[in-house]
Amino acid sequence: MQTYRADLHIHTVLSPCGDLDMSPRNIVELAKARNLDIIAVTDHNSTLHGPVIRKLAEPMGLTVLFGAEVTTREEAHCVCLFETEEQRQAFQAYIDENLPNFPNNPDKFGYQVVVDENDEILQEVEPLLISALKASVSEVQAMVHKLKGLFIPAHVDRQRYSLISQLGFIPFDLQFDALEIFRSTDPKEFLAQHTYLKNPTLIKNSDAHFPDQIGATYTRYLLESPTFGELSMALHREQGREALL
């Protein structure tokens, strides 16, 4: 086995708060230049840029996971990751069903555009993607696992849009695969402050919204190969695989 570098929380130009330079091509080129082995595309409440980024990344030997950073009914952010196009489409349909039909105001929130591999605009998404879904955190978790995806509450110790900021704690019955902590958080201090957590797997990601943030924070994983299945094993500390902070 060997270590692989993964940044599993990257936004594109599709997220209204994403920089206009966060195009699929730029993301792939920068991820490769910064020696990442695995990335995940996690726009706010959308998976639509996953396929084009995977298409661009495959010839470069970069593994791309499909995903989204979902805002639950509690206004807590959760990273949801998937392996296959079928899973991505099914989860996108779930998001569409639960996203309020509140129109985006580009002048206030930013543009929400889907682009192709040549940075040509294909469509502009009309509903505001940073809205909270109608589904609760437990309901989103259940759907992700029903689709055999990975459910990772995002930046859980941040003062806004995290499980702890919104609920005051991480629910005891929530079946997460790992917890993402903030880039500057010391893992030992975090666990000492939340002793009710039973030795969870902790990871860090960039939550990149701008090009210079891609790969600035990442987690190393001990894997046989840079695949979704191996990553899942690492998050669950199976057969010698593990996340290394």
- Residues in the chain with pLDDT values less than 70: none
For 10, 42, 125, 168, 193, the CA distances from 165, given in Å and listed in that order, are: 22, 21, 29, 6, 14
Q: Pairing relation of β-strands 113-115 and 121-124?
A: antiparallel
pLDDT in tens, 213-224: 999 999 999 999
Domain at 73, CATH number: 3.20.20.140
Closest CA to 49 of 108, 107, 101, 123: 123
- Domain containing 49: what range? 2-244
39-91 tens-digit pLDDT: 999 999 999 999 999 999 999 999 999 999 999 999 999 999 999 999 999 99
Picking from 207, 198, 206, 193, the residue whose alpha carbon sits closest to that of residue 157 is 193
List of E strands, 1-76? 2-10, 38-41, 63-71
Predicted pLDDT at 49: 98
Q: Which pLDDT score is estimated for 137? A: 98
Number of domains in the chain: 1
H-assigned helices in the chain: 24-33, 50-57, 85-98, 106-109, 137-146, 163-167, 187-193, 228-235
